[in-house]
């Protein structure tokens, strides 16, 4: 297919193009350029792309183009593995469909089902939902998919990891056989391939190379600071840079809360995002940031995993990332879909080797930051993870291992319960307990691989509100 330079060249209609212009998108990303034309032709598509590649617009714009706002029935369904991704996709689709008057409803667990039923009764041309909540609403006859013409499976490999594929197949079986189906996944393991073979009709496969993140226009800087002066230097940088939206990354939850308070007390419009916040508070912060109402966010890496925001102009590494891979993924939060971005990394004198490791891994030189400085934007390339990934000389992490906890939503288990049980029994920092996923009858949690056996031994049998906690290492 010949290269294109604008969204108009892809065949999108005027009101969709106007909405794209409203959010400042300038040029389609590779996955958008490849996926939008076949989807507009009505073809099924398999898209292999990482988070941050622009895949939400890749499937969302064609779907919204074919939605008829005068028809009150559900015409599009997007299935997501997590509530964070559900919220993220919903906000994006509402923005893209705003000029056309498309109503997008989000349905996910952990929120009152009655209010979601009421939203569906009031309308909903497109429904974005987590697998479990969609299945529940279907069983209650609150979600009718008889007229659903467009179905998207987003991050299908995550659904596989969480054990959702059987429920996904059940939901697909309740949609019209004439539907158009798009499947997006970072990887295509055999189970996902079998799902595609069964439920997609002669799909077109489009792929964005996983080895290169779509961060092609980032100006990268480093700033040496004295430890006691870091907060003051951050304020100086923010006042000089005047970012449209910025994420300031820190290493721990305690540091996140301290820096948030410092910046707030300096009169800045800022919020914190970390793992000790309630899910409702985290959702509120994420939505405010994604809608552009919040210009500055202080976040830990774990809490920011669900963020995929096109409007971020700056990423500031207040703490040096724990590995070069983390650096690449952090600064991948900016320079989305045709925008340019700036990344500034603070470091102390004894962290110079860490900066050199980042430069080697990312394939880019970090220029010294001074006010009004500019450097040539560079691509950020992440090496394929066929072998062990490089770590920084300090504060390196063991690769994560998944544990399975007996109990889930049905028993009232909350993510914070799991985190607190593990940290209380083992003395681990809460930042080491990651990706807690509460399902109906069991829960997944990721911990450092070299700590997994010790955690299982120490936590098994721990008391949790009168219940004995049972967990085991996943056999992966």
Taking the C-alpha atoms of residue 264 and residue 428, their distance in angstroms, rounded to an integer, is: 29
- 216: pLDDT confidence band, cut at 50, 70 and 90? low
CA 259, chain centre distance (Å) = 23
Single pTM value for the model? 0.54
CATH code of the domain containing 459: 3.30.70.330
Q: Do 243 and 161 reside in the same domain of the chain?
A: no
Asked if residue 387 belongs to a domain, the reply is no
pLDDT > 70: percent of the chain:
84
Taking the C-alpha atoms of residue 178 and residue 149, their distance in angstroms, rounded to an integer, is: 7
Q: Do 14 and 76 reside in the same domain of the chain?
A: yes
Note the pLDDT tens digit of each residue in 364-393: 788 999 887 777 666 555 543 333 333 333
Q: Do 147 and 32 reside in the same domain of the chain?
A: yes
Note the pLDDT tens digit of each residue in 94-128: 989 989 999 999 999 878 899 999 999 988 999 99
Taking the C-alpha atoms of residue 360 and residue 280, their distance in angstroms, rounded to an integer, is: 39
Which residue from 341, 230, 250, 239 is spatially nearest to 297, judged by alpha carbons?
250
Asked if residue 351 belongs to a domain, the reply is yes
Which residue from 34, 451, 399, 422 is spatially nearest to 209, judged by alpha carbons?
34
pLDDT at position 390 = 34
- 262: pLDDT confidence band, cut at 50, 70 and 90? very high
Q: Do 16 and 153 reside in the same domain of the chain?
A: yes
pLDDT at position 309 = 61
Asked if residue 394 belongs to a domain, the reply is no
Task: Report the number of distinct structural domains present in the chain.
Answer: 3
pLDDT at position 357 = 81
**What are the residues whose beta carbons fall under 8 Å from the beta carbon of 383, sequence distance 6 or more?**
211, 361, 389
Note the pLDDT tens digit of each residue in 173-197: 999 999 999 999 988 889 999 999 9
Residue 314 has pLDDT above 80, yes or no: yes
Which is more confidently placed, 308 or 426? Answer: 426
Q: What are phi and psi of 151, to 5 degrees?
A: -125, 135
Asked if residue 212 belongs to a domain, the reply is no
Taking the C-alpha atoms of residue 144 and residue 173, their distance in angstroms, rounded to an integer, is: 13
Q: Do 198 and 237 reside in the same domain of the chain?
A: no
Average pLDDT score over residue span 459-473: 75
Domain of 134, in residue numbers: 7-207
Dihedral sign, CA of 383, 53, 165, 37?
negative
Asked if residue 89 belongs to a domain, the reply is yes
Asked if residue 381 belongs to a domain, the reply is no
Q: Do 166 and 236 reside in the same domain of the chain?
A: no
Residue 473 has pLDDT above 60, yes or no: yes
CATH code of the domain containing 322: 3.40.50.300
Instruction: Assign 3-class secondary structure to 138-197.
Output: HHCCCCCCCCCCEEEEECHHHHHHCCCHHHHHHHHHCCCCCCEEEEEECCCCHHHHHHHH
Q: Do 103 and 222 reside in the same domain of the chain?
A: no
Average pLDDT score over residue span 445-451: 82
Note the pLDDT tens digit of each residue in 54-82: 789 999 999 999 999 999 999 999 999 88
């Amino acid at each position: 297919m010949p290269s294109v330079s604008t969204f108009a060249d892809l065949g999108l209609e005027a009101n969709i193009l106007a909405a794209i212009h409203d959010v400042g998108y300038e040029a389609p990303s590779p996955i958008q350029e490849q996926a939008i034309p076949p989807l507009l032709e009505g073809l099924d598509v398999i898209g292999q792309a990482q988070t941050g590649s622009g895949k939400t617009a890749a499937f969302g714009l064609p779907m919204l183009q074919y939605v008829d706002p005068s028809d009150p029935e559900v015409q599009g369904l997007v299935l997501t593995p997590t509530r964070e991704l559900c919220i993220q996709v919903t906000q994006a689709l509402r923005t893209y469909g705003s000029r056309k008057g498309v109503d997008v409803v989000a349905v996910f667990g952990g929120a009152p089902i009655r209010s979601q039923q009421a939203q569906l009764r009031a309308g909903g041309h497109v429904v974005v939902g987590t697998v479990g909540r969609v299945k529940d609403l279907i069983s209650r006859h609150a979600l009718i998919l008889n007229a659903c013409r467009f179905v998207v499976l987003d991050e299908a490999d995550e659904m596989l990891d969480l054990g959702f594929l059987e429920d996904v197949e059940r939901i697909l079986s309740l949609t019209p056989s004439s539907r158009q189906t798009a499947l997006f996944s970072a990887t295509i393991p055999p189970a996902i391939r079998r799902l595609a073979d069964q439920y997609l009709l002669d799909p077109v496969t489009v792929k964005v190379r996983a080895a290169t993140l779509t961060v092609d226009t980032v100006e990268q800087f480093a700033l040496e600071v004295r430890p006691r002066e870091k907060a003051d230097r951050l304020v100086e940088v923010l006042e000089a840079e005047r970012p449209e939206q910025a994420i300031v990354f820190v290493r721990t939850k305690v540091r996140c809360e301290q820096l948030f308070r410092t910046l707030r007390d300096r009169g800045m419009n800022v919020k914190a995002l970390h793992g000790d916040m309630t899910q409702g508070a985290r959702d509120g912060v994420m939505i405010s940031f994604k809608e552009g109402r919040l210009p500055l966010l202080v976040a830990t890496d774990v809490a920011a995993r669900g963020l995929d925001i096109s409007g971020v102009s700056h990423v500031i590494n207040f703490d040096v990332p724990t590995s070069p891979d983390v650096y690449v993924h952090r600064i991948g939060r900016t320079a989305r879909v045709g925008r340019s971005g700036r990344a500034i990394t603070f470091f102390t004198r004894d962290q110079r080797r860490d900066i050199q490791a980042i430069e080697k891994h990312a394939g880019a030189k970090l220029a010294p930051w001074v006010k009004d400085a500019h450097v040539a934007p560079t691509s950020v390339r992440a090496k394929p993870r066929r072998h062990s990934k490089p770590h920084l000389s300090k504060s390196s992490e063991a690769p994560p291992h998944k544990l399975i906890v007996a109990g889930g939503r049905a028993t009232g288990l909350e993510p914070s319960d799991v985190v607190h049980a593990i940290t209380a029994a083992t003395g681990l920092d809460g930042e080491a307990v990651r990706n807690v996923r509460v399902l109906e009858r069991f829960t997944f949690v990721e911990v450092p691989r070299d700590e997994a056996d010790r955690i299982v031994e120490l936590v098994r049998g721990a008391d949790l509100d009168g219940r004995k906690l049972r967990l085991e290492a996943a056999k992966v």
